[in-house]
Amino acid sequence: MSINRTAIINHFNVADAFVVHSQGQSGGLWLIWTHAVDIAIVEHNPHYILAVCNSTSTSDQFGLVCIYGDPHHRTTSTIWARVLHFVVNHSTLPILAMGDMNELMHPNEKAGPGRPNISRINMFCDYMKQCGLLDLGYNGPAYTWTNKRFNSSPTFQHLDRSLANIEWCTKYPQTAVYHLPMIQGDHTPILTMMHSTRPKTNSLFCFENWWLLEHDFNEVANQSWEKSSRRPFHLKTKYLAYDLKKWRKAKPNISTQLSTIEDLLQQQSKPPHLQDFSTQKHLISQHEDILRKSEEFHIQRAKKQWAKLGDRNTANFHQAITKRSRKNTIAYLYNPDGTEATSPNQLADTLLNYFHDIYGITSPSNSSNLQNPPDSPAASPLHQSSANMNHINNFQQAHNLQMQQAHNM
């Protein structure tokens, strides 16, 4: 039985809907929206809906690509050719592509009989690159489809996903994708939230390689180290990290430094007889120094992939780094009693309890004091027994690991 647009609007009490009817017993697409957006359909066929969305409250505009990949892979190239055409024609818009792609991105996205088709995997990744789309990752079960042959040898695959371009990642950096429970059918519903919010937590210290290029780094580091010259090594590094964090916060970030220099260079665009070539030379030198810092910043995050895939500060590579961080986020964990830990504190407690059970660790009563340096370095003890210090250090390493995972939320 064919379902029409009016029936969908009345049933779900929404503003409007667009229906691409199924072909026999397969396919069929519904696009349903509320009064929060106005949607203009640009193009459609049984495998996709391409649309431009306008927010009624903010006037923000973005492109939407809804895909039902060809399960027989006969028209896959045609589908992605039309998606590429849409992306190119709306290159300035944030674009979100989501749906049942019927494709894998990696061999480990399949579990069960038969080997993944590496050729198709490579082809799908090439389509994504041509369209400038990045995988947004997910929270929840790894596989989104199963053939439900549980009495024999079931197959599980990750076929459904959300993709986005650089503009989307910049405009909506808090986008989160959730794989919901598979209640009916053989696919897991996916939920993409544009404005996922989580409470902020205190960040742990992380040394940045580009700091070594700052002219005053050595002076700050030496002064901090000298202040703790009589203290144990673990306290020296603790206070050094504390002082470096204060030093870093007092500096403008790299992008601000770069913008400032580029503005000054722009101001030098004058007729030749009015130009100050000495100033220009100095600004160009500073600009090159800041670019080097920015490059070090991204090399540290991209690791070996920088040399293979990247060049100096391309926007696409910057967003790939952001995507990797997003995919490493822990959204929730199950406790032994079956309850879920979702907040940063709950996640930290769950992980700490796990390590307590393994190593038989009892939390030291003053463990919270290890998180932040006291106001006065002189207030800290100079000597502790090595056995007790090793115990505290081991606990602190485990605790820091869990808090870092919680912070990534």
Q: Tell me the per-residue pLDDT of 70-110, one tens digit each, with 9 for 90 and over.
A: 999 999 999 999 999 999 999 999 999 999 999 999 999 99
CB 155 within 8 A of CB 146: yes
Same domain, yes or no, for 169 and 220? no
255/315 Cα distance (integer angstroms): 13
Which residues have a Cβ under 8 Å from the Cβ of 89 and sit 6 or more positions away? none
Residue 322 located in a structural domain: no
45/30 Cα distance (integer angstroms): 12
Residue 199 located in a structural domain: no
pLDDT value at 123 more than 80: yes
Matching residue, tokens 């220099």: 261
| DSSP-based three-state secondary structure for 68 | strand
Question: For residue 333, what pLDDT is reported?
Answer: 83
Residue 320 located in a structural domain: no
CB hemisphere CA count around 122 (13 angstroms): 3
Same domain, yes or no, for 144 and 253? no
- The tens digit of pLDDT for each residue in 138-151 reads 888 899 999 988 88
Same domain, yes or no, for 187 and 218? no
118/180 Cα distance (integer angstroms): 28
CB atoms within 10 A of CB 27: 16
Q: Where are the beta strands (DSSP E) in 281-409?
A: 333-334, 340-341
Look at 191 and 307; give whichever has higher pLDDT. 191
Same domain, yes or no, for 172 and 218? no
CB 32 within 8 A of CB 51: no
Same domain, yes or no, for 77 and 180? yes
Same domain, yes or no, for 116 and 238? no
Look at 302 and 189; give whichever has higher pLDDT. 189
Same domain, yes or no, for 174 and 82? yes
Query: Which whole number is the average pLDDT over 181-194?
Result: 89
Query: Which whole number is the average pLDDT over 132-161?
Result: 91
Q: Where are the beta strands (DSSP E) in 276-363?
A: 333-334, 340-341
CB hemisphere CA count around 61 (13 angstroms): 7
Which of 309, 343, 369 terminates a domain? The answer is 309
Radius of gyration over every alpha carbon of the chain, rounded to an integer in angstroms:
27
* Eight-state DSSP code of residue 3: P
Same domain, yes or no, for 40 and 147? yes
Same domain, yes or no, for 151 and 226? no
Question: For residue 401, what pLDDT is reported?
Answer: 47
Look at 99 and 342; give whichever has higher pLDDT. 99
Residue 105 located in a structural domain: yes
Query: Residue 21 is part of a domain; what is its CATH number?
Result: 3.60.10.10
- The tens digit of pLDDT for each residue in 237-275 reads 988 999 999 998 888 888 888 888 888 877 777 677 677
Question: For residue 361, what pLDDT is reported?
Answer: 63
Question: For residue 312, what pLDDT is reported?
Answer: 54
Same domain, yes or no, for 39 and 177? yes
Residue 315 located in a structural domain: no
Same domain, yes or no, for 145 and 99? yes
What percentage of the chain has pLDDT greater than the value 70? 77
Which of 160, 193, 226 terminates a domain? The answer is 193
Count of domains observed in the chain: 3
Residue 353 located in a structural domain: yes
CB 313 within 8 A of CB 320: no
Residue 317 located in a structural domain: no
Which of 163, 193, 223 terminates a domain? The answer is 193
Locate 209 and state its tokens: 């390689």
Domain that holds residue 375: 333-407
> What are the backbone dihedrals phi and psi of residue 150, each rounded to the nearest 5 degrees, phi first?
-75, -20
| DSSP-based three-state secondary structure for 135 | strand
Q: Which range, 159-163, 195-199, 203-207, has the best average confidence (pLDDT)?
A: 159-163
Same domain, yes or no, for 137 and 252? no
Locate 260 and state its tokens: 């400032």
